[in-house]
Amino acid sequence: MRASEYMIVTLRETPAEAEVVSHQLLVRAGFIRKAAAGIYTILPLGQRVLKKIIAIVREEMDRQGGQELLMPIMQPAELWMKSGRWDVYGPELFRLKDRHGRDFCLGPTHEEIITELVRNEVRSYKQMPLLLYHIGNKYRDEIRPRFGLMRGREFIMKDLYSFDIDEAGLEISYQKMHEAYSRVFSRCGLEFRPVEADSGPIGGNVSHEFMVFADAGEATVVYCDNPECGYAANVEKAISKRKDNPADEQPQPLEEVSTPGMRTIEEVSSFLGVAPERLIKTVLYRTEKGIVAALVRGDRDINEVKLQNVLGTVHLELADEATIEQVTGAPVGFAGPVGLDGVDLVVDEEVTDLVNGVTGANRKDAHYINVNPGRDFVPDHVTDIRLVGAGETCAYCGGTLVATRGIEVGQIFKLGTKYSKAMGATFLDANGEEKPIIMGCYGIGITRTMAAAVEQNHDDYGIIWPASLAPFHVVIVPVNIKDKTQAALAEQVYRLLENKGFETLLDDRRERPGVKFNDADLIGYPVRITVGKKAPEGLVEVRHRRTGETITVGLDELVSTVNSFLEK
């Protein structure tokens, strides 16, 4: 390809709204342009990268027996009513009406469509296992689209759905996808890690997220620093070793004490001279099922995903001040479980170990000391609802937990019969009995993977594409295109590399060399060949973008040098 004929639209300036590097660089290097908030045009350079990611994904899905189909973006509301999700999702679901006034949504995912298809087409156990996938646009009306392609309102996803006759079959499909995803992200040149993920309120369901570690990642991953252990989880799901009971002493009589204006854990702890781990933090939440109180030790935070899963509620939000006053009879900061009627108490298991704890007294400027769970209040649920933090002890091996940021580029779920039961997708087993189909679903964010690759592969000069994703493998920069010798040698190098199958861009633009070098670094071609003053000797300079390594070679060594640079 010749740059003089190609759409290269690099920018000097960084777009003000771009907060993360991948967003800044994809715009500046001319890979994407914003059409609206969270909606992007993928320019030619970007499309070349996406096609490579899609090709890798397709190969690995097909390798596992996946069959590609193409499902509609427009989805009839009836299917979402059958699955029960039409009223579950709020403004995030793009809804529209056709000319006859019928309701549709723009597909944010495709469980309903694919389950309905399989309900109609699969009747016998002989037709499974079945792995069906497609690659296409998804629509989710994010309240705050940001980070460019990382959290868009329209994005490209590969979603595969597995259909099996039993749990054993699902396990096989799940492992096939786990393997396929590891191969996909390795081939994309990404440093990634599968981590345990929250699978929603339905207990027993399994899910893993494939995380690309990067500071711009919106997810927090917790992992064990012991390489033998390998524990890793999204913090929403992560567990740690339960902390020991801070004090083993005899229960004392409950006593109310005056704590004027002491509201926070720190204030009460220092005022009463009691360590935070002996305080009980009581936080009120509003759910569609009413008000609940979540209790954790004072040195802990509440994991709202775990709490929501325990409650099985769809909505969960902190109760507002008025509600707190109305429910507890006291202003914010004095809530406690003792005497708190009509409110479900969800108590973290560490709290039940406490003896003579401290809580709010549900009275202004007053707390209770010598609070003993079981005696002074009775929990409705006792479970793990604590948020795990870095430095805690690994529940599996005793190692130390580390926290880092991750970009979720893929997620695999065991769905079980969640959709097949809701939508009546059943099959006749070998004994002629009707059974619900066992499903799994597996997503990869294609556009998000491109952004993640940039987050992990850039420097101050721009993007550094892994060879497997680069829009072109090699850029050739003649220093002076008017110099006949340089122009001729550049053409010769271009033809040689193209004939050898390298995707090559000849930068024949009438621009100063500095502009071409800056663009080459910004766009991030893995290899740059400079044709300059040594052209008369038939020598060119080959530079490795990632390391800056540069060597001067003749045409006879050119191909082997480019190959070796592309493999680094």
Binding footprint of ligand 9G3 on the chain (CB under 6 A): 89, 92-93, 108-109, 140, 159, 411, 413, 441, 443
Instruction: Answer yes or no: are the C-beta atoms of 550 and 521 closer than 8 Å.
Output: no
Instruction: Answer yes or no: are the C-beta atoms of 31 and 23 closer than 8 Å.
Output: no
User: Which residue's CB atom is positioned nearest to ligand 9G3?
Assistant: 443
Q: CB of 488: closest distance to ligand 9G3 in angstroms? A: 53
User: Residue holding tokens 């060597």?
Assistant: 551
Nearer to ligand 9G3, 195 or 505 (CB): 195
Integer Cα distance of 348 and 283 in angstroms: 12
Q: CB of 343: closest distance to ligand 9G3 in angstroms? A: 31
Q: For residue 492, what are the contacts with CB-CB under 8 A and spacing of at least 6?
A: 555
Residue type, 101: G
- Torsion angle defined by CA atoms of residues 364, 366, 367 and 370, in that order, rounded to the nearest 10 degrees: -140
3-state secondary structure 363-400: ECCEEEEEECECCCECCCEEECCECCCCCCECCCCCCE
Q: CB of 184: closest distance to ligand 9G3 in angstroms? A: 14
Torsion angles phi and psi, residue 185, rounded to 5: -75, -25
Nearer to ligand 9G3, 413 or 465 (CB): 413
Nearer to ligand 9G3, 105 or 265 (CB): 105
Q: For residue 12, what are the contacts with CB-CB under 8 A and spacing of at least 6?
A: 28
Integer Cα distance of 354 and 373 in angstroms: 7
Nearer to ligand 9G3, 399 or 443 (CB): 443
Q: Would you give the distance in Å from CA 537 to the centre of its chain?
A: 52
Q: CB of 86: closest distance to ligand 9G3 in angstroms? A: 9
Integer Cα distance of 208 and 198 in angstroms: 8
Nearer to ligand 9G3, 141 or 384 (CB): 141
Q: CB of 72: closest distance to ligand 9G3 in angstroms? A: 15
Nearer to ligand 9G3, 140 or 300 (CB): 140
Q: CB of 139: closest distance to ligand 9G3 in angstroms? A: 8
Q: Would you give the distance in Å from CA 409 to the centre of its chain?
A: 5
> What are 462's two structure tokens?
């721009």
User: Residue holding tokens 């409110």?
Assistant: 343
Could you tell me which of 213, 241, 524, 255 has the C-alpha nearest to residue 395?
241
Q: CB of 433: closest distance to ligand 9G3 in angstroms? A: 29
Nearer to ligand 9G3, 208 or 473 (CB): 208
Integer Cα distance of 65 and 348 in angstroms: 44
Burial of 7: CB neighbours in 10 Å, binned 0-12, 13-18, 19+ = exposed
Instruction: Answer yes or no: are the C-beta atoms of 531 and 494 closer than 8 Å.
Output: no
Nearer to ligand 9G3, 315 or 512 (CB): 315
Residue 297 burial (CB count, 10 A): 23
Collapsing DSSP to helix, strand or coil, 446 comes out as: helix
Nearer to ligand 9G3, 83 or 561 (CB): 83
User: Residue holding tokens 């066992």?
Assistant: 438
Q: CB of 141: closest distance to ligand 9G3 in angstroms? A: 7
Nearer to ligand 9G3, 86 or 271 (CB): 86
Classify strands 504-506 and 474-478 as parallel, antiparallel or unpaired: parallel
Question: Please, what is the end-to-end C-alpha distance for the chain in angstroms?
Answer: 24
Nearer to ligand 9G3, 390 or 422 (CB): 422
Residue type, 541: E
Sheet of 539-544, strands arranged across? 504-506, 474-478, 527-531, 539-544, 550-554
